[in-house]
Amino acid sequence: MEAMLEIVDVVTTYGKIEALKGVSLSANRGRITCLLGPNGAGKTTLMMTVAGVLKPRQGSIKLEGNELVGLSPARIVGNGVALVPENRLVFPQMSVRENLLAGAYQRKSSGEVAADIEQMYTRFPPLKERREQLAGTLSGGEQQMLAVARALMSRPRVLLMDEPSLGLAPIVVKEIFGIIAELNREGVTIFLVEQNAHLALQVAHHFYLMEQGRVTFSGTPGELAEDEVIKRAYLGTRRSAG
Amino acid sequence: MIPFIQTTLDGLMVGSSYGLLALGFALIFGVMRRLNLSYGPSIMVGAYLGTLLYIQFGAPTYVVAIVAVAGSVMAGVYVERLCFAPLGVGAGVASMVSSFAIWMQLEQASLLMLPRHSYPFPSLTSGELLSVGPLVVRPDYLIMLAAMLAITAALHLLLYRTRFGLGLRAIIENSVAASLSGIDVRSTMLKAFALASAIGGVAGFLVLSANQQVTAMLGMWATLKGLIAMMIGGLGSIPGAIVGGLVLGVIEVHSQTLFGPQVRDLAAYGVLFVLLVLRPGGIFGTAAVSESAAHRGGDRWTTT
Amino acid sequence: MDDHLTGILSNIGVISFVALSAYLLLLTGEISFGQQAFFAIGAYTAGIVTAMWQLPFWLGLGAGAAAGGAAALFVGLPTLRLHGLQFAIATLAFAEAVRILFELFRYQVVRDGEPVGPNGIEGFRNIRYIFEHDVSATQFMLIIYGLLGMTLFGFFLLERSRLGVAFRMIGQDGLLAAAQGVPVFRVKLMAACLAGAIAGLGGGLYAHLTTYVEPAIFDVMLGVHSLAYGLIGGLGTAFGPLLGVVIDIGLLESTRWFAGYRMIVFGGLVAVLLIVRPRGLLDERLVHRIRRLVSRRPPPAPTNAAVLGEEPS
């Protein structure tokens, strides 16, 4: 099993606060790797660091051996890593179609881009229905689909997803996770941050637990009892109070 | 009735230049979320370079125009590299103050080139007034209006029909999401800056050639007019900039006709003030500009 | 003390008032391009009181400060609820409107056969109270610095008071402050009034220092300069804006080092400085460290807002 994305000893700070205190983990090719943990653990910080929006103070992030640290977010997209950010971050005043075009910004062949857009419409029928509608008027679930589709437009080899289930109704979440599983079957390597431990464990091949800027557990679903995982994902490991 | 229409028409013409100035401002503000106080002075540098060629070497008008625009772009790029690019999103006020410092720098550099208060500037037309029915039109002003319409149309095409325009609009909406989509934010910002400076340079050239002179107040004038017009139309709104400019022009010319030049300026500031208090978003903005939109330009992302 | 030096020092002292005025508003997170308006109002009011109504100097100063504060209250009420940039432009519009109004303002009385008083664009001459009462240049300079010292002491007290903490809280994050129960609007209004009064006081001193004021002095340049002083000198302490004034007027204006190129050099230095230190020379971090060294007490834990307000490194 080879590592597609290898994160070694990454430290990211906000001023004086160390949000990531030396995180090491890897996402294997063709697999779904999941990162769980309570709020404030640093999961989004890690995603933003991998995506290049935040610069780590030290550590390395390699994609198939190529160093990503220090590259601009646009270059990282160019290298094949796309992030579906927390809270979707669609462009509200632009249409669904324009959002998709934005995701394809770096691609050269407009013919291929057009074909891919059609493919997105097939995969996500609500987007086709609303293709000229402003993204800000879409429902939460539709925006999530749009955010995923936009990221896919760059034909990434690794898809990063930050809390895709956030704020969505259970039925919609099931749909999204269905899409995640489908994408993975087609060969996309997926690295997923989730709060919904139960669902995440159902799709993940491997998962990590993160607390307070550090990885505290690494293993496969089943290695740890699910309720133990859920407990740690929401509450963290036992710590003395106060 | 006719005098009223005449005055309004004059106001619209003058307003075209304000609109162009505001357009440049709005473009920069939309992309950077920060005020560029060096906008007027950049235009001044270009105009002064053009003037220098004109009075020292008798350069033909089209050369002066090209130099004015090119000079403005160069100065604009200089400002962007020094004041905006190195300072991240967090240091909002610092960029603005930095751009003010460079305003002083550019203004003094211009005055070193040409120290007197005013200089002649080549004109585009012979100055003969055109008659359109009962109305009188200055051809230079007509050119300004035409230029404004042409540039606005071109900008619209750029923004909505090109990949660069798509990237620019994406950055205006959310620069973090834009970079995550693979848009090179820094390079696009620089190009937007250059474009805005070019538009400003054109506006400056047209106004100066209509007045046939350039004065040392150009930097301050361009910055203030552009800023006021932009605010009237709506902060960072591109169609708002044009409308704001036209409205400002009409208000000014009417006030001047009725009460004289001082009241003209007073009226402009008064309208701006009242507008800001009653409808801070401007004509095209929302009635209340929300905290997140104004403060962070929709760039906020939370941490988990 | 030689006259030239006295003149420069007096100038520094007086301009410091309007710099402090902009700084006070900056603490609450508001950018004002318009403090020069209160400076002007203070100058004209003080001049009218002493030169035209022939009342004592201190009364003139007091009236100047009061007028500045009142005007700030009047303007602050409708504008402080505006957001950052809109507020800044509103202050700019207000200040320019005030300047134009002074260009139109005429009020003269006859004293000793001569008309005295504001005369539109030509300004207000013969504010000669100081000279008529035999106050030397040096003495007046001491008066200026005495008052400046008192103002700085006021800032010192403010920094340690709940109000001062409220100011900085609002400056960091208005929503957070409101959530903590701070009456944001009222506090901002208070800051605006104080700032207006400080500028008004400075204006009164200025009018008597130069004996002559005209509307052209109180332009946008002065306003943006006042703002810049705080941002260059540092926002961590009231000495920051003073430092900014000293650097500009003291170092560059008076030394004829770069005559003719002064703004080119100064402008470039400021731009470079702001890249390296976006919150000025004496920024909050540095001041915090100095205070720790001086008091040798453990510092209070920085609030999340204060820390998260900084860029991730």
The pLDDT tens digits for B186-199 are 999 999 999 999 99
The alpha carbon of residue A19 is apart from the nearest alpha carbon of chain C, in Å, by: 10
pLDDT, residue A208, reads 92
Which string of b and e fits B163-192 if b means at least 16 CB within 10 Å?
A: ebebbbbbbbbbbbbbbbbbbbbeebbbbb
Band (pLDDT 50/70/90 cuts) for residue A239 is low
Closest residue of C to A49, CA-based? C312
Question: Is residue C224 a contact partner of residue C92, using CB atoms and an 8 Å limit?
Answer: no
Band (pLDDT 50/70/90 cuts) for residue C258 is low
A contact test, residue of B162, B171, B180, B188 with most A CBs within 10 A: B180
Tokens of C41: 């109002």
Beta strand segments in chain C, E: 109-111, 114-116
Count residue pairs from A and C with Cβ separation < 8 A: 23
Question: Is residue B19 a contact partner of residue B245, using CB atoms and an 8 Å limit?
Answer: yes
C contact test, residue of A11, A12, A13, A14 with most C CBs within 10 A: A14
Segment C272-284, tens digit of pLDDT: 888 888 878 888 8
Q: What is the C-alpha to C-alpha distance for residues C204 and C62, in angstroms, rounded to an integer?
A: 8
pLDDT, residue B294, reads 36
Mean pLDDT of A38-62: 90
Which chains have at least 3 CB atom pairs separated by less than 8 Å from chain A?
A: B, C
Cα-flanking dihedrals φ and ψ of residue C111, to 5°?
A: -130, 125
C295 at A interface, C-beta within 8 A: no
Locus of tokens 């930097």? B219
Lowest pLDDT segment from A86-90, B236-240, C161-165 = B236-240
pLDDT, residue B89, reads 60
Q: CB–CB of C93 and B90 under 8 A?
A: no
pLDDT, residue A197, reads 83
Closest residue of B to A52, CA-based? B180
pLDDT, residue C311, reads 38
Tokens of A232: 């740690």
A12 at C interface, C-beta within 8 A: yes
Mean pLDDT, chain A, integer? 88
Segment B236-262, tens digit of pLDDT: 788 889 999 999 999 999 998 888 887
CB contacts of B176 in chain A (<8 Å) are: 53, 85, 89
Between positions 83 and 142 of A, the ones with CB within 8 A of C are none
What are the beta bridge partners of residue A7? A25, A61
Q: CB–CB of B294 and C267 under 8 A?
A: no
Segment B13-37, tens digit of pLDDT: 889 999 999 999 899 888 888 888 8
pLDDT, residue A237, reads 64
Q: What is the C-alpha to C-alpha distance for residues B142 and B126, in angstroms, rounded to an integer?
A: 13
Which string of b and e fits C19-32 if b means at least 16 CB within 10 Å?
A: bbbbbbbbbbbbbb
pLDDT, residue C299, reads 56
pLDDT, residue C289, reads 85
Segment B24-80, tens digit of pLDDT: 989 988 888 888 889 999 999 999 999 999 999 988 889 999 999 999 999 999 999
Q: Which residue among B178, B183, B304 sits closest to A86, beta carbon to beta carbon?
A: B304
Question: Is residue B61 a contact partner of residue B140, using CB atoms and an 8 Å limit?
Answer: no
Residue A137 has pLDDT above 80, yes or no: yes
Q: What is the C-alpha to C-alpha distance for residues B207 and B201, in angstroms, rounded to an integer?
A: 10
Q: What is the C-alpha to C-alpha distance for residues B81 and A111, in angstroms, rounded to an integer?
A: 36
Q: What is the 3-state secondary structure (H, E, C) of B36-78?
A: CCCHHHHHHHHHHHHHHHHHHHCCCHHHHHHHHHHHHHHHHHH
| B35 φψ region: left (φ > 0), alpha (ψ -120 to 50), beta (else) | beta
Sheet with A17-28, edge to edge strand ranges: A17-28, A3-14, A58-63, A66-67
pLDDT, residue C200, reads 96
With CA atoms as reference, report the closest residue to A106 among B28, B154, B172, B166. B166
Cα-flanking dihedrals φ and ψ of residue A208, to 5°?
A: -125, 150
Strands B130-132 and B135-137: what pairing?
A: antiparallel
The alpha carbon of residue B267 is apart from the nearest alpha carbon of chain A, in Å, by: 34
Residues A143, A145, A147: CA angle, nearest 5 degrees: 70
Mean pLDDT, chain C, integer? 85
Q: Which residue among B170, B178, B180 sits closest to A51, beta carbon to beta carbon?
A: B180
Residue B298 has pLDDT above 80, yes or no: no
Segment C57-93, tens digit of pLDDT: 899 999 999 999 999 999 999 998 887 788 888 999 9
pLDDT, residue B303, reads 27
Question: Is residue C8 a contact partner of residue C254, using CB atoms and an 8 Å limit?
Answer: yes
Domain with C50, as residue range(s), is: 3-218
B185 at A interface, C-beta within 8 A: yes
Q: Which DSSP letter does residue C253 get? A: I
pLDDT, residue C135, reads 80
pLDDT, residue A110, reads 87
Beta strand segments in C134-284, E: none
With CA atoms as reference, report the closest residue to C203 among C226, C227, C235. C226
Segment C141-151, tens digit of pLDDT: 999 999 999 99
With CA atoms as reference, report the closest residue to C84 among B236, B139, B201, A8. B236
CB contacts of A55 in chain C (<8 Å) are: 312-313
Sheet with A189-194, edge to edge strand ranges: A81-84, A158-162, A189-194, A32-36, A206-211, A214-219
With CA atoms as reference, report the closest residue to C150 among C57, C20, C250, C25. C20
Q: Is residue C232 part of a domain?
A: no
The alpha carbon of residue B163 is apart from the nearest alpha carbon of chain A, in Å, by: 7
- DSSP for B112-175? HHS-SSEEE---SS--PPEEETTEEE-HHHHHHHHHHHHHHHHHHHHHHHSHHHHHHHHHHH-H
Residue C180 has pLDDT above 90, yes or no: no
| Residue C193: Cβ within 10 Å count | 20
Residue C160 has pLDDT above 80, yes or no: yes
Tokens of B201: 């340079």
With CA atoms as reference, report the closest residue to B186 among B88, B296, B94. B88
What are the beta bridge partners of residue A221? A224
pLDDT, residue C300, reads 58
pLDDT, residue C13, reads 94
Q: What is the dihedral of CA A187, A191, A195, A200, to 10 degrees?
A: 30
Q: Which residues of A touch B (CB under 8 A)?
A: 19, 39-45, 48, 51-53, 72-74, 77-78, 82-83, 85-87, 89-94, 98, 101-106, 150-151, 154, 162-163, 193, 195
A39 at C interface, C-beta within 8 A: no
B179 at A interface, C-beta within 8 A: yes
Q: What percent of chain C has pLDDT over 70?
A: 91
Residue A241 has pLDDT above 60, yes or no: no
Ranges of each domain in chain B: 2-123+133-296
CB contacts of C241 in chain B (<8 Å) are: none
With CA atoms as reference, report the closest residue to A36 among A181, A202, A201, A160. A201
Whole-Å CA distances, C62 to B188, C95, C157, C238: 53, 21, 21, 22
CB contacts of C285 in chain A (<8 Å) are: none
Tokens of B118: 């005013």
Segment C202-226, tens digit of pLDDT: 999 999 999 889 999 999 889 988 9
Question: Is residue B103 a contact partner of residue B81, using CB atoms and an 8 Å limit?
Answer: no
CB contacts of B302 in chain A (<8 Å) are: 44, 86-87
Strands A214-219 and A206-211: what pairing?
A: antiparallel
A118 CB-contact burial (10 Å; exposed 0-12 / middle 13-18 / buried 19+): exposed
With CA atoms as reference, report the closest residue to C63 among C90, C87, C80, C44. C44
The alpha carbon of residue B169 is apart from the nearest alpha carbon of chain A, in Å, by: 8
CB contacts of C94 in chain B (<8 Å) are: 269, 273
pLDDT, residue A1, reads 58
C260 at A interface, C-beta within 8 A: no
pLDDT, residue C253, reads 65
Question: Is residue B180 a contact partner of residue A82, using CB atoms and an 8 Å limit?
Answer: yes
| Residue B110: Cβ within 10 Å count | 25
Which chains have at least 3 CB atom pairs separated by less than 8 Å from chain B?
A: A, C
Band (pLDDT 50/70/90 cuts) for residue C302 is low
Q: CB–CB of A93 and B179 under 8 A?
A: no
Number of domains chain C contains: 1
Question: Which listed CATH number (3.30.2130.10, 3.40.50.300, 2.40.50.250, 3.30.2420.10) goes with A3-86+156-235?
Answer: 3.40.50.300
Q: CB–CB of C310 and A14 under 8 A?
A: yes
The alpha carbon of residue A1 is apart from the nearest alpha carbon of chain B, in Å, by: 28
C178 at B interface, C-beta within 8 A: no
Q: CB–CB of C308 and A57 under 8 A?
A: no
Please state the length of chain C.
313
3-state DSSP call for residue B35?
A: coil
Q: What is the C-alpha to C-alpha distance for residues B60 and A164, in angstroms, rounded to an integer?
A: 62
Segment B124-160, tens digit of pLDDT: 887 788 888 888 888 888 899 999 999 999 999 999 9
Residue A238 has pLDDT above 50, yes or no: yes
Q: Which fold has domain B2-123+133-296?
A: ABC transporter involved in vitamin B12 uptake, BtuC (1.10.3470)
Lowest pLDDT segment from A95-99, B148-152, C249-253, C280-284 = C249-253
3-state DSSP call for residue A126?
A: helix
Tokens of B193: 């800056």
Mean pLDDT of A1-14: 85
The alpha carbon of residue B90 is apart from the nearest alpha carbon of chain C, in Å, by: 6
pLDDT, residue A31, reads 92
C231 at B interface, C-beta within 8 A: yes
Whole-Å CA distances, C125 to C55, C208, C275: 17, 10, 43
